[in-house]
Structure 1
Amino acid sequence: MKIGQRSEGVMKVKREVPPAGAFTKLRLLMWKNFLHQWRQPIKTIVEVVLPVGTMALVLILRSQIEPTTSDVSRFPPISAYSLNYSIPVMFNMNFQKLSVAYSPESPILEDVVRSAIVNLIRHNIDVILDLIDRLPGIPDLPPIPPDLILNSTEIFEVLRNLINVQAYNNSAALISIYREEEYTREVLAAVEFDDNLAGTTTLPDDLSYSLRFPEKPRLNSFYGTGGRSWRTNNVFPFFQMPGPRFPHSWEGGNDPGYVNEMFIALQHSISMELISRQTNLDLENFTVNIQRFPHPPYLQDLAVEFLTYIFPLFVIISFSYTSVNIVSAVTTEKENQLKEMMKIMGLPTWLHWTAWFLKQFIYMFLISGLLVLLLKVNWFTNEDGFSEYAVFTHTSWSVLLFFLTLYLTCMIFFGFMLSGFFKKASTASLFAGVIWFLTYLPAFLLSMETEVPIIVQTITCLSINSAMSYGFQLLLSQESIGGMNWGNFFSTHTLDADRLLFGHVVLLLCLDCVLYMLVALYLEQILPGTWGTPKPWYFIFQKSFWCPSATRVSDIRSNGVETDTIVRENEPRDNEIGVKMTTSR
């Protein structure tokens, strides 16, 4: 309490105003930030209209592709010997040097391979002859007797002599044959038996073999179609979709194309030859067919399959302007010395960042709710009167709101981090827009390949838009089987352990938030801007950073001279007086 001057017998008392608390400062900072947003109406309108307009394009796309109900899918049987679906592959093979390799070298094993290939050709003689007529450069065949019967021993021996079989000493030499690209067109396949059978003349009772084909399927090598690998590590597709894979393909499609690549036919031919020799039975008339399982009726929604790949790009475009504005606003404070002035007045750093975060979070949460409304409401009715569908028909609205809010929260921290690299707001805005789209590049490149190790997927999720892309792809893929709910964040349709699940993406986005904010706080110390005092880059490794109370402050003295004579300026005596106070009353 301070006692002022006496006036007419009344004593005036001045009360000391208590210092403003943290909550009061936070309210003032929030008021300042919202006032700054209010004074930029065009930016505010664009930040709202751009996400809404982009999602409106998604709604238009959704309305143009209506879901349809498909009946039971049934597929006819196919002969296991059939090469009818392998003509494109055979058409690009080098028939002049075409051969079949095997290991280890053995007379009986070579005879098995030759006989198996002959049986395969005999069951597909029409396909082979038609292909020979269309292929140029086929070597001249020996004259065929006019009275030759197709299944006679004579034609069997003719074909055996035409087949080129190459023997290798062991499996190590055999596996390496496809290292040279040219052998992909010259060696049909490699049959690998146990190396202990080298030189054997009789077949053991316990016998196994492996078929070696090129690492990259030939359809993809020759035409760029089908799968880029054999998918041997996958039991189920990476993204589960309604209905059968390749619903119009009797043989099961070309990803992977075990029928198209002649794997099934060659495997069946060799197996039948081995069984025939072991049992001493003639299996010429024994028929084996392959047939796809029927599939029950399902709802075919091509829009969901299409949006699985392009919806993340719509989200990135929706918030590109907002992300740039966050970086620009924070950098502007640093450029105009406002941040340093508030620090001089005693504003803690955590209050500064908290105020910016709360302002942006409230703003982004309202936009998230608006987008969830657009994506969850059933706006459409198809020609059959079906109206129970939206962009996210089955996904819980709370899950969608949670994930979208988490993504936008991560975007706020990402903007804070980027602002620490720049001193000028104009430069920050330019680079922020470019970096924003570049963060989607890892997910875009990896989307072309499904067999990606989980460690690689995890590393790419450190990029905000790559993590968002994985998350929305998993959400949309779950649409066809009931939608994503709170109980199945870590559930999967497959037994494969190395799968990135939706719950993993959520955890990685939370980790991104922490990492981005820590980087922002670190950059604030070493790159404070033109008007700040930077700390050395290694300050986090100093003892004073982790144990500030242990730092001893010593008296500032130099050669026994008092501090006052060093830091205090002497009063001027020869200058003209401008303002002079003669009394304090």
Structure 2
Amino acid sequence: MPANRRDAGVWHQTKSLLHKNLLIKWRTKQQSLQELILPLVLLGLLILISTLNPHVYYGGFNTVTLESDVYLSFKSLGYTPVNNITNHIMEEVAHSLRVDLEMFSSEKELENASLYEASSFVGVVFLDGMSYQLRFPYNELPLPSDYTESYASCLEDSVNCRAANYWYSGFVRLQSYIDAAIIQMQTKQDVWQAVSGLQVVMMGQPGWVEMQKFSHAVSSIYLVLAFTPFVSFLIANVAAEKERRLKDTMSMMGLYDSAFWLSWGLLYAVLVTAMSIVMSIIATCTALFPNSDVLLIFLLIFLYGISSIFFSFMVTPLFKKPKFASTVGSMLTVVMGCLSLFTVLMKDFPQPLVWALCLLSPSAFSIGIAQVVYLEAHGDGAVFSTLGSGPHPLYVPLFLLMLDSALYLLLALYLDQVLPGEFGMRRSLLYFLKPSYWSRRKKRYMEVSSVCERELNGGPVLSTPVDPARPAEPIESVSPEFRGREAIRISNLRKVYKEKYSTVEALRGLTFDIYEGQITALLGHSGAGKSTLMNILCGICLPTEGSASIYGSSVWDMAEGAELRQLVGICPQFNIMFDVLTVEEHLHIFAAIKGIPAAETASEVSKVMKDLDLEKIMGAQARNLSGGQKRKLCVGIAILGDPKVLFLDEPTAGMDPCSRHQVWTLLKSRRAGRVTVLSTHYMDEADILADRKAVISQGQLKCVGSSLYLKTKCGVGYHLR
């Protein structure tokens, strides 16, 4: 194993990234203040609304006998069908009630007649000798599905109580008389005397509270909105790092995925915890939830906050643009929270549907808050003894919020693997079912000396097979001192990108070796395939066909293991930096990612800044650097920790001549015992730096060798065409 390999632990990387996130939060104060202040503002508005719309408390009333001497609300009584049985029944009823009787041959005729006497006509439809239906005017009786009537009208004047309308409208008396006539006809016994003394008693009612639907619904939604800024900004921050390829580049240098997610998760967990404590104390010390247990309210808010973090992680792989992702995430949160209004506005909402809605954490939290409001209105408040009380027991949303958090976290990790973005390695949809995923072992790199010794002892050689159907590319043989020191071996490498209606072949069967102790330059125009080759060698994407290995380890192993990538230093074609962090802070963060011990970090960072003349701008934020200074910082990040393998994609683009010569000198001084691969458009840079050049055009290898060899094969003053 190479001596300069370091093993960066997950926690070591997490601490560094957490420090980075804290610095970004501190320097983007406008965003941070919105996350902290908006929840408190919404909570204050909710307290104000609850104060202005209090629940109405009523005392009880005693049992009372309803007035029996009342006039019927109808004058005419119609019935259908007409036969001896119905005639006998209805004649008895009409005589007892002293109303006019009308006969109809069909139900339709009866309904038509009721249109002309809408307020004074009642119909009876017999289904058989014992069953019948009563047809009363629409406004005479309360609907069985009407749950909006206030109990207040039944307190003092029972005449205005809609529940008593069954008696005052004549509904109960008519039903009783028809039943008496049927009983008398069936039993031959006189029951009219018993029916004539019928009385109705309004049952007593203990004291109760009438909840205001508006404040009840608003309470359940407002606190969901309070956490929307957390969701929006967390999605935007994570998606921005993915869009700018910062996460992919850090992964190429050895960052564990778990460290990346932990750094954001821990930061927002601290924010959620602090906000939950403040909000629960305010809510229980004001008129909002005065009777509730502060610990239970904290638990409800905290669990929702944690589930919101994992929900944000789950959403980020689905979108590429940060603004669009954060907007959609916020809208989904609000919409899912509003779904819970069905449980507030509808009585006897099915309990299985409540459990189903609670699989959406905003709905679960909203249902939980609505239950707290209900318990507060009925005096006890949300305490541990009332967890199972109420229409939707509070333990249901509490339990399902914990389940939602676990479910969202698993989905976030899964989607991050199968939808990695533009540059990540995409796994198959069922990758977790493959035994190879669970039985991965740490791959050990072989020293070049081990490869050489194996060849000298007659062992198998990692040869590069040649396709006999293709003409051999002109490749210069290396001197004897480099034989057996093939650090990177590329064999028949192909990469095909599939587009909607076509395919693009970026690499077409590349086969050559790259040696330790040499600087190898990749030459070619834009789109020739240089960056694609580097991405494959870094493990950020995999080849369609062929193979490539670094120190005996396949690029497949590079893609699978972060510990193998820590051998590699990378300077991609784009700038890898965080706008609000300084030069020195960048180097410290990437030092931790590469596994440099804390005791050595300061000296290593100072050495890199001195070598690249970055000391004068060490305190400058990245957004204030010039293009050349940004490239120097990217080179500094790449060489940090003295990596065994160095990939530099146009490292000096945008630099002034002095800075370019400075970088050249630095790379030459680090050539011995290492592998350096760079791509460039500058022929003078390739001539000065590179020991060997590989010319690539349209994905094909054209020539490999020294400058003298290329001039011999291509002529003096060769050009890329």
Question: What TM-score results when the alignment is normalised by the length of structure 1?
Answer: 0.65
Question: What is the aligned partner in structure 2 of residue 490 from structure 1?
Answer: 388
Selected match of 1:568 from 497, 513, 520: 513
For 1:62, the equivalent position in structure 2 comes to 50
Q: What is the correspondence of 1:328-347 to structure 2 with a 5 Å cutoff? A: 328-347=236-255
- 459-468 or 327-336, which deviates more: 459-468
Q: Against the structure 1 CA distance between its residues 167 and 564, is the aligned structure 2 distance closer, same or farther, given a 3 Å change threshold?
A: closer
1:53 alignment partner in structure 2:
41
The answer as to whether partners of 1:190 and 1:212 remain within 8 angstroms in 2 is yes
User: Are 2:21 and 1:21 aligned?
Assistant: no
| Structure 2 equivalent of residue 12 of structure 1 | none
Structure-1 separation of matches of 2:396 and 2:522: 75
Correspondence 1:472-483 to 2 at 5 A: 472-479=369-376, 480-483=378-381
1:416-444 superposed Cα distances (whole Å, 9 cap, x missing partner): 12212111112112222322222234233
2:434 corresponds to 1:543: yes
The residue that corresponds to 1:294 in the other structure is 204
Write the distance in 1 (CA, Å) between the matches of 2:62 and 2:305: 46
The residue number in structure 2 matching 1:356 is 264
Where does residue 136 of structure 1 map in the other structure?
A: none
| Partner secondary structure for residue 373 of structure 2 | helix
Unaligned runs of 5+ in 1: 3-14, 123-155, 169-173, 198-207, 232-236, 379-389, 493-498
Q: CA deviation at 1:465?
A: 2.5
CA distance in 1, matches of 2:180, 2:167: 17
CA distance in structure 1 between the partners assigned to 2:672 and 2:369 by the alignment: 71
Q: Which amino acid aligns with 2:356?
A: I
Match of residue 163 from structure 1: 102
Match of 2:216 in 1: 308
1:141-173 deviations in Å (ceiling 9; x for gaps): xxxxxxxxxxxxxxx7xx3xx3336689xxxxx
- Tell me which moved more, 477-486 or 442-451: 442-451
Q: In the alignment, which residue of structure 1 is the partner of 2:235? A: 327
2:297 & 2:261 partners in 1: Cα distance?
27
- Deviation per residue, 1:62-105 (Å, 9 max, x gap): 33356776444246432579677xx6xx79xxx8xx84457xx8
Shift of 1:226: 6.0
Equivalents in 2 of 1:557, 1:258: separation in Å? 95
Shift of 1:560: 9.2
Q: Distance in 2 between matches of 1:336 and 1:79?
A: 80
Out of 298, 303, 308, which is 1:401 matched to? 298
| 1:466 aligned onto 2:466 | no
Output the CA distance in 2 between the equivalents of 1:448 and 1:261.
29
**Structure 1, 65-74 or 453-462: larger mean CA deviation:** 65-74
Aligned to 1:271: 179
What is the Cα deviation at residue 556 of structure 1?
Answer: 8.9
Cα 1:66–1:507 shift into 2, 3 Å: closer
Which residue identity does 2:28 align to in structure 1?
Q
Q: Quick one: which amino acid aligns to residue 316 of structure 1?
A: V
CA distance in 1, matches of 2:670, 2:425: 40
TM-aligned CA deviation for residue 209 of structure 1: 4.7
Number of the residue aligned with 2:92: 115
Deviation at 1:33, TM superposition (A): 2.0
* Closer, same or farther: CA 461–249 of 1 in aligned 2, 3 Å: farther
In 1, are the aligned partners of 2:65 and 2:201 still within 8 Å (CA)? yes
Instruction: Give SS of 1:393's match.
Output: coil
Change (3 A) 1:558 1:287: farther
Cα deviation code 1:364-385 (max 9, x no counterpart)? 121111111221114xxxxxxx
* Closer/same/farther in 2, CA of residues 424 and 72 from structure 1, 3 Å limit: closer
- Corresponding letter in the other structure for 1:112: I
- Calculate the TM-score normalised by the size of structure 2: 0.54
Q: Which residue of 2 aligns with 1:430?
A: 327
* CA offset digits 1:214-239 (Å, max 9, x no partner): 9xx945xx9xx9657278xxxxx9xx
Two-structure CA RMSD over aligned residues (Å)? 4.7
CA distance in 2, matches of 1:481, 1:18: 62
| Structure 2 counterpart SS, 1:568 | strand
Question: Aligned partners of 1:111, 1:582: CA distance in 2, in Å?
Answer: 115
- TM-superposed deviation, 1:340: 1.3
The more displaced of 365-374 and 539-548 is 539-548
1:362 deviates by 1.3
Aligned pair in 2 of structure 1 residues 505, 66: CA closer, same or farther (>3 Å)?
closer
What is residue 145 of structure 2 aligned with on the other side? 229
**Counterparts of 1:324 and 1:291, CA distance in 2:** 58
Q: Distance in 1 between the 2:671 and 2:330 partners?
A: 61
- Confirm or deny: 8 A CA contact 2:344 2:370 kept in the other structure: no
TM superposition shift of 1:61: 2.9
SS of the residue corresponding to residue 318 of structure 2 reads coil
Considering Cα pairs closer than 8 Å and 6+ residues apart, tell me whether 1 or 2 has the greater RCO: 1
Compare the two structures and name the one with the higher strand fraction: 2
Q: Using the alignment, how far apart are the partners of 1:527 and 1:256 within structure 2?
A: 63
Distance 2:171 2:53 in 1: 37
CA distance in 1 between counterparts of 2:670 and 2:253 reads 31
Q: Could you tell me how far 1:360 is from its partner in structure 2? A: 0.9
* CA deviations over 1:229-265 (Å, ceiling 9, x no partner): 278xxxxx9xxx9x87964672795589755886534
For residues 265 and 509 of structure 1, what CA distance do their matches in structure 2 show? 53
Residue 568 to residue 443, structure 1, CA distance change in 2 (3 Å): same
After superposition, the C-alpha distances for 1:6-38 in whole angstroms (9 at most, x for unaligned) are xxxxxxxxx989634332222222222222222
Gaps of at least 5 residues in structure 2 are 444-461, 469-485, 492-510, 524-660, 674-721
Pick closer, same or farther for the CA change 1:564–1:364 going to 2, 3 Å.
closer
Deviations 1:519-567 (A, max 9, x none): 222221222122222234x2347525664459x9xx8964699956635
Measured against aligned partners, the alpha-carbon deviations of 1:429-480 in whole angstroms (never above 9, x if no partner) come to 2222322222234233564432433333333333332222222222211221
Out of 418-427 and 479-488, give the one that drifted further. Answer: 479-488
1:149-205 Cα offsets, whole Å, 9 max, x none, are xxxxxxx7xx3xx3336689xxxxx9xx99xx99xx898454555xxx6xxxxxxxx
Contact 1:77 1:291 in 2 (8 A): yes
Q: Which amino acid aligns with 1:46?
A: Q
Give me the whole-angstrom Cα distance separating, in 1, the residues matched to 2:171 and 2:355. 34
1:229 counterpart letter in structure 2: S
Separation in 1, partners of 2:290, 2:205: 23
1:212-227 alignment runs, 5 A limit: 218-219=138-139
> Does the 8 Å contact 2:464/2:512 carry over to 1?
no
Matched residue SS, 1:484: coil
Distance 1:396 1:112 in 2: 63
Q: What is the CA–CA distance in structure 2 between the aligned matches of 1:471 and 1:425, rounded to whole Å?
A: 31
Q: Give CA deviations for 1:324-375 in whole Å, capped at 9, x if unaligned.
A: 1121111112112221123223232223222222211210121111111221
Aligned residue in 2 for 1:443:
340
The answer (yes or no) to whether the contact 1:227–1:256 under 8 Å persists in 2 is: no
Kindly provide the amino acid, as one letter, of the partner of residue 89 in structure 2: V
Q: Report whether the alignment pairs 1:530 with 2:422.
A: yes
Separation in 1, partners of 2:394, 2:408: 21
SS of the residue aligned with 1:420? helix
Indicate if the aligned counterparts of 1:417 and 1:520 stay in contact, CA closer than 8 A: yes
Give 2:395's aligned amino acid: G
